[in-house]
Amino acid sequence: MEQDEAQSLIVHSAFDNMPSKQYNQITMNLFTLPHRRYNPLTNEWILVSPHRTQRPWLGQVEKIPAESLIAHDPNCYLCPGNERAGGARNPNYNTTFVFDNDFAALLPAHPSPSPTAEGEGRELLRAESERGRCRVICFSPRHDWTLPDMPLPDIRRVVDVWSEQTRELGELDFVSYVQVFENKGAAMGASNPHPHCQVWAIEHVPTEPAKELRSLSAYRSERGACLLCDYLTLELDQRERIVAQNDHFVALVPFWAVWPFETMLLPRRHIGALPETTDAERDALADMVKRLTTRYDNLFAVSFPYSMGWHQSPTDSAAHPESHLHAHYYPPLLRSATVRKFMVGYEMLANPQRDLTAETAAARLREMSETLYRSTQ
């Protein structure tokens, strides 16, 4: 194993036999001095600069999004009964609603592209076809709700649809991976405030899940164990990065988090994909989704933007015992509802960097109430 990869999953465990005074000094330095942290899921590093949290900010300030939405917007192409942008009309649905994306990024069948180069240049100029299906899941007929506003039974229905769509699309013979994801808020590129997410079923395993699967597989081969199971055990023991938990799921800020208030949501049981969840686990997942997104909204008293997605087992007919189901939440807000993090400069050209430590972010989120701030207004 390479020297970098041999470093402990959690920095603290590398100092188990160290005198307590020296250990405490090193632990304190993680909160005050620049250091880098290793992400074993992606085999990448992140620079952490906690001493910069007090630097002045004269950069871009985001507009706080208006929250005076109405329950049904006659101009919204996702509301019940309205005409969509592609010309189809939505049914008068009263629960979740799934439809094929009218402007899909992928198509189920199309001819392969011609070779982009001949002879010696072919390995440098590669292109190949990519088939797929893209669907939209409307969480609710209510235009003015997001997940933290929804009753638990309605969120449980969303969890069921995530599972149903994963199974249905994963059974298509050309699909190797099903990606469920949500972009919430204009800051994360959402084109419509109506509560919804997307499901893309893809012919090849995409880059980010593929990186994680390689690391999960290598860890299993070397240690005979699941990387995320072992990591969750460490986090539950140390507790400083745990945000919320119940009998079946845990929400935490990863030790190697990149985004200011990034979290990971993962099951305690080793399962590979959403369709493998039991009824009790789906109830627990709905509970955790509501609790976590409520804490997010309460952090800055705003409908908190994020990109969220599930990483799960490929659907390529092969066995994937290394896979452990988990969701990533990547929110951009940093200091307030109006100051966000940008991935630019050093982070685009070298590696990710953050100022706020994962431990501080987790503590901030733990302090938040699980009663939604706007429900008491």
pLDDT tens for 186-244 read 777 777 999 999 999 999 999 999 999 999 999 999 999 999 999 999 999 999 999 99
Catalytic residue among 196, 248, 311, 326, which?
196
Asked if 178 contacts 315 with a C-beta cutoff of 8 angstroms, the reply is yes
The C-alpha atoms of residue 184 and residue 197 are separated, in whole angstroms, by: 8
Asked if 46 contacts 354 with a C-beta cutoff of 8 angstroms, the reply is yes
Mean pLDDT of 315-327: 96
- Residue 12 has a pLDDT of 41
CA angle 117-121-122, nearest 5°? 55
User: How large is the C-alpha radius of gyration of the chain?
Assistant: 22
Summarised one tens digit per residue, pLDDT across range 322-347 is 999 999 999 988 777 776 677 788 88
- Residue 110 has a pLDDT of 73
- Residue 18 has a pLDDT of 46
What CATH number has the domain spanning 206-376?
3.30.428.10
pTM score above 0.85? yes
- Residue 156 has a pLDDT of 98
Whole-number percent of the chain with pLDDT over 70? 84
Asked if 158 contacts 137 with a C-beta cutoff of 8 angstroms, the reply is yes
The C-alpha atoms of residue 98 and residue 196 are separated, in whole angstroms, by: 10
- Residue 16 has a pLDDT of 45
Phi, psi of 242, rounded to the nearest 5 degrees: -75, 135
Summarised one tens digit per residue, pLDDT across range 65-111 is 656 689 999 999 999 999 998 899 999 999 999 999 999 999 998 76
Q: How many helices (H) and strands (E) does the chain have?
A: 8, 14
Higher-scoring residue by pLDDT: 33, 166: 166
The C-alpha atoms of residue 121 and residue 137 are separated, in whole angstroms, by: 42
| pLDDT of 281 higher than 80 | yes
Q: What residues contact 2, with CB distance under 8 A and at least 6 apart?
A: none
Mean pLDDT of 12-28: 48
Phi, psi of 262, rounded to the nearest 5 degrees: -60, 140
| pLDDT of 21 higher than 90 | no
Mean pLDDT of 121-136: 89
The yes-or-no answer on residue 196 being catalytic is yes
| pLDDT of 35 higher than 80 | yes
Mean pLDDT of 300-312: 94
- Residue 65 has a pLDDT of 60
| pLDDT, the chain, mean | 87
Q: What residues contact 298, with CB distance under 8 A and at least 6 apart?
A: 368, 369, 371, 372, 373
Sequence spans of domains, the chain: 206-376
Whole-number percent of the chain with pLDDT over 90? 70
Mean pLDDT of 34-51: 93
